[in-house]
Structures are given as C-alpha cells and as structure tokens.
Structure 1
Amino acid sequence: MAGRTLCQSLVGVSRRSFNKVPSIKNTRSITLSRPLFNTDHNDTVSVETTSAETLVPPADILKKVSMRRTIAPAATMTPHNLSIAKLLAAGLHLGHSTSLWEPATLPFIFGTREGISIINLEHTLVYLRRACNVAREIALRGGSILFVGTRPGFQDLTIDAARTCEGYHVSGKWIPGTLTNAHQVLGRHASPDPEDPGRPPKTYKPDLIVLLNPLENKIAIAEAQLNKIPIVAITDTDYDPRLVTYPIPANDDSIRGVELIAQVIASAAKDGGFRRKQLLDQKEKESKFSRNQHYQQQQQQRR
C-alpha cells in the first residue's frame, strides 16, 4: 500500500507539472536566449535574443545563379598541375559512336568500347600542352586571343576564360563576315577616331582563336584560314583534325571537360601576359637608369 500511494503521488506531481508547461502551438517565432554573465556582481546581466526569422536572409538578396557558378572549383587548373587522371575524371576520353568515326582521328584513338571510340588521353595531354605554349607565347608578344563557344551550356565558361586572360569572346552566334568583312560587321561597334571623326573606325583581328565547338563553326574556321589566323580547337572523333592548326583530341560534349581545357589555356595566356608586364617594367627601369647615368655624366662634364 505504501508503494502504491507513493507511485500515485509521483504520477500526480508529474501531471501537475506537465500542465503548467505553456503551449507553443500559437507562437509565431521561437526566441533563443543566451545569458552573458559578468564576474562583477554589481553589473546587470544582459541577455541577447535572436529570433528564427532573423536567421533567414531576405528574398531580394537571393539571386538566380547558374549551378556551375555556385560550385567553386577545388583548385584552379593550370598547365603545371595537369595530369591524365584529371582529364579522365572530366570525361575527355569518351568519343562518339563508331558509326560517326572520322578516319583522320585514327592516331588519337585508343580503342572501342561498346560501340564508342575511346580517345587516348596521352595524346590529349601532349596536344593540350602544345596549345598552352602557343597561347602563352602569343600573350607574351602582346597578341589578342579570341575564345569562341556557341553551343548551349558553353556561354558562361567561354566568358570566364576570356576574362581570365583579358581576352575576347564570342558566346552567341558567329556572324558571317566577322573577319572577312570586319568594317561592315564590327565597324559600327568600334569607337571613332578622336583625331578624325569622319574617318572609318579601325577594326582589329585576333592573333589566336580558341574554338570550343568547331563542328558548329565551320564559317569561323573558313574565315580564319583566309586571314591566316591560327586556330586551337577541340576535335572529337567525328571531326577532321587537319582542318585546324592546333587540334586537341578530346570529348567536346562534356561541359566539365570543355571548361577544364578552356581554363588551362586561359591560365597559360594569363601567365604570358604577366611575364610581358614584368619584361616591360624591367625595360622601363633600365631605360630610366640609363637616362639618369647619362644625365650625371653630362653634369660631370660641364663641371
């Protein structure tokens, strides 16, 4: 009996204490409090309250950003840290079906797998490094580089590659006559000559074209050949690599792989531009030093 009465009394206490707990169904926000205790007992205790609504950013701050831009790369790809494993992870070894095979790509093909041509990434690495050397040398000599990527999904990576090396880009449709009839196509967009406004504005041609999808830009290749402009292009197993100056045998359908190639070439061009600035600064310092020496010698002779 004593054990039963004790159990009933405990149950009654627990029920009474549970009924005293306030309900939070009607509350709109839950406040989180954290007391800040001071060692001095004379000071008052301050409490910071943070509501759940303040933890959510307002809707106007959230902007629509593409998924490719939201995911930051782990490390910037450069010609120095390039390897076959990274090319394989980007899917650059996957070619097209054997029914679309171009016989001129035979030296670049490793074999076939379930009706799909497999590209030898050893050749891809060699030809990609050669293209990087070309882009670096052109940037070192002060040339301009044009990145062309007109396929859907290539626009953002084409613009980013051009901005990396301070180059130019064509992310929309290639306008016929951009190179062969530049005065009519690009003249209206060029700034007029400040010395002679009535004179037709000057248009410049790129020194190198990096073509990310050559299959859809045959007109651009034909215009570059007429103007003797070298072309670096990604050539898949369904495209003749002899039509471009510096082919890169790789998969041109993988956005991740195309971004890797464009980023590596842009990094090489950026390196060449940085070296050019260093050389120009060094020449300027040497010229200033020689002028100062010449001035000091003249002063000594006059004395």
Structure 2
Amino acid sequence: MAEINLAQLLEAGVHFGHKAYRWNPKMFPYIYTERNNIHILDLVQSAQLLKEANSYCLNAAEQGKTFLFIGTKRQASAVIAQEATKTNSFYVNHRWLGGMLTNWVTLRSRIEYLKTLEQQESDNVFELLPKKEAAQRQKELEKLRKHLNGVKNMTKLPDVAIIVDQKRELTAIKECRTLGIPVISILDTNCDPDLVDIPVPGNDDAIRSIKLILQSLNDNIATGQEKVKNLQSI
C-alpha cells in the first residue's frame, strides 16, 4: 500500500491552513499552531488520517467498488480528471449540478443525450443540418461534455466520493449524505469534519498539496483494482 511520509507532506505545503479568523472551531483538534495569523495543521495527524483513507480506498477497490472524484475549483480541476482517469473512476471537475446524485434519473437522461450528440458528431450529422441548428447542437454538446464527461460512463450511483474543498462542494456532500455514500475529503482549517466520513486534514488550495493527497488515494485504488484483476486471472 503506497504511503506518504511527513517530509513529502511538508514539501507539498499540506500543513498550511487559512487565516486564523476564517477557521472552523471543529478543526481545532487537527491544528498544530498559529503563525502570522495562519493556522498550521498537525502533519502527524494528517499523515495518520491519510493512511486510514488510503486503507479504506484499497479495501473498497478490492471489493470492486466505484469512486467519484469531485473538485470544481481551478486548482483541483485538472488533477481531479487526471487521477480519476487513471483508475477508470468517475469525476466532476467543473460546476456541480444540483441533483447529480439525488436526481439520478434526470442525470441519466442528460448523459444519454450527450452520447446521442457525440454519435451525431461522429457520423457528421451536424454537417447536414442548417448552420444555425448545427451551431446550436455543437454548443449543447460542448456544454454537456464540460459538465458530464467525467460521469458519462457511470451506470449507477458511486460507492465512494472523494472530495476537494468541502466548503465549495457542500451541495455534493449533502447529496452523498442523503444517499449514504461515504465521503473522503481533504479538510482545510475552515471545514467541518462532522460532515464527512473520512477526513484528511490538509491544504485544499495549493495544487501540490491537492495532487499529493489525491495521488496517494488513487494509488491505493489502483493497487486494489490490480489485486482484483490478478485474482480473476487465476
């Protein structure tokens, strides 16, 4: 199981929290100190909780469970797509559309429409349409791809959600809680640990911090998936 050490967390700036006045008091147990009005997270706890999150991902992957990566902020968008793609997981890296999970039937219909438009594009159907209609369909296709490309092949609700920036993705977290989907989330000092199942205290603004934590979680997903493949080939 791939693990991250304290030196790696320190180098990636995982310990840097928000300005002290922005903190959520519920994060107090995970804060080491305050420097220049900035809260500093306790990396010993971050490392331990990341280890627990890694173990959870490994075990879930070994059971064939599916993962949904969610992170729509600019710093996380590219990393979310990259990591999810590596393990054939699902992802949302642009705006979260309310009801993406709790209104699954409607989402499925939009996904089917996306696939229909993609097939039409592949078959050069757009070229046969009047320019105005073709432009409209192309615009629809681009919009649907932007928001739904990462869940296009999701045939059922995910088993586990991995989230970057709890504050920004609060709607997604509420939907997961409503449906009983376990949530693993990077928690900065302004977050509420009570809203997630598996917290990973860390800097959710720095790209290096986000990438390090997501890579660690995803490496364990990949390890679990590989174990399943090996067992199936016996």
Q: TM-score, normalised by structure 1?
A: 0.62
Deviations 1:273-297 (A, max 9, x none): 0001111122xxxxxxxxxxxxxxx
Q: Check if 1:130 corresponds to 2:52.
A: yes
2:149 corresponds in structure 1 to none
Matched, 1:179 2:101: yes
Given the alignment of the two structures, is residue 140 of structure 1 paired with residue 92 of structure 2, yes or no?
no
- After superposition, the Cα gap between the structure-2 partners of 1:277 and 1:203, relative to the gap in structure 1 and judged at 3 Å, is closer
The answer to whether the 8 A contact 1:164-1:267 is kept is no
Match of 1:216 among 149, 153, 168: 168
Residue 37 (structure 2) pairs with residue 85 (structure 1): no
Tell me if structure 2 keeps the 8 A contact 1:178–1:186.
Answer: no
Match of 1:264 among 216, 224, 234: 216
Q: Which residue of 2 aligns with 1:253?
A: 205
In structure 1, C-alpha distance between the alignment counterparts of 2:112 and 2:193, rounded to whole Å: 34
Q: Distance in 2 between matches of 1:267 and 1:231?
A: 18
1:206 partner SS: coil
Per the TM alignment, residue 203 of structure 1 is displaced from its structure 2 partner at its CA by 4.1
Equivalent residue for 1:170, pick from 92, 98, 107? 92
Q: Measure the CA separation in 2 of the matches of 1:272 and 1:187.
A: 32
Structure 1 residue ranges (4+ consecutive) displaced by more than 6 angstroms after TM superposition = none
Between the two structures, name the one with larger relative contact order (CA 8 Å, sep ≥ 6).
Answer: 2
Report the alpha carbon displacement of residue 103 of structure 1 after superposing the two structures with TM.
1.0
Distance 2:77 2:36 in 1: 32
Contact 1:187/1:203 (<8 A) preserved = no
Residue 138 of structure 1 and its aligned partner are, at CA, apart by: 1.2
Paired-residue identity, %: 31
Q: Are 2:141 and 1:189 aligned? A: no
CA distance in 1, matches of 2:15, 2:2: 18
Residue-by-residue CA offset, 1:48-81 (whole Å, 9 max, x unaligned)? xxxxxxxxxxxxxxxxxxxxxxxxxxxxxx723x
Q: Secondary structure at the match of 1:133?
A: helix
Q: Which amino acid aligns with 1:266?
A: N
Contact 1:132 1:268 in 2 (8 A): yes
CA contact (8 A) 1:139 1:273 kept: yes
Q: Residues 70 and 92 of structure 2 are in contact (CA less than 8 Å); yes or no, is this contact kept in structure 1? A: yes
- Quick one: which of 168, 171, 196 aligns to 1:244? 196
Structure 2: runs of 5 or more not aligned: 114-153
Q: Residue deviations 1:103-134, cap 9 Å, x none?
A: 11111111111111110000000111111111
- Of the two, which has the highest radius of gyration? 1
In structure 2, C-alpha distance between the alignment counterparts of 1:215 and 1:188, rounded to whole Å: 27
In the aligned structure 2, how far is the partner of 1:89 from the partner of 1:154?
18
* Amino acid in the other structure paired with 1:205: L
Distance 1:207 1:270 in 2: 16
Aligned residue number for residue 231 of structure 1: 183
Matches within 5 A, 1:1-303: 79-80=2-3, 82-190=4-112, 203-282=155-234
Check whether the contact 1:97–1:117 (CA below 8 A) recurs between aligned residues: yes
TM-score, length-scaled by structure 2: 0.80
Matched to 2:20, the amino acid is: T
Residue pair 2:71, 2:169 contacting (<8 A) in 1 also: no
Q: CA RMSD in A?
A: 1.5
Residue pair 1:147, 1:170 contacting (<8 A) in 2 also: yes
Aligned residues: 194
For each residue in 1:179-205, what CA deviation from the matched residue of structure 2 results, as whole angstroms up to 9, or x when unmatched? 1111112223149xxxxxxxxxx9400
- Structure 1, unaligned stretches of length 5 or more? 1-77, 192-201, 283-303
Would the aligned equivalents of 1:144 and 1:167 in 2 still touch at CA under 8 Å? yes
